[in-house]
Amino acid sequence: MTERYWAEGGELRMTLTIEDPMFLREPTSYTTRWLPAREDYQLQAYDCDPEAARASVRFYPSKYK
């Protein structure tokens, strides 16, 4: 996995590239951008529930038998 970050104008950009020949036929990439928050923006609390976060995994088919 390779992450590349750069500033462009007033944005922060990132490209993530994953190479895994065992599971992927070819490398895959994803690019995203972040914009600055407004001056009056207030961060909100966020509670993370690990059990809820992994709940959907039980429906995935098994890769291994």
Beta bridge partners of 3: 16
How many CA atoms lie less than 13 Å away from 18 in the CB half-sphere? Answer: 8
Tell me whether residue 22 is in a domain: yes
Q: Give whole-number Cα distances, 30 to 1, 12, 16, 19, 42, in Å.
A: 11, 14, 5, 12, 28
CA distance 13 to 4: 8
pLDDT above 90 (res 16): yes
pTM: 0.57
The total domain count for the chain is 1
With a pLDDT cut of 70, the percent of the chain lying above it is 97
pLDDT above 70 (res 55): yes
Tell me whether residue 50 is in a domain: no
Q: Which domain holds residue 25?
A: 1-36
Contact 54, 45 (CB under 8 A): no
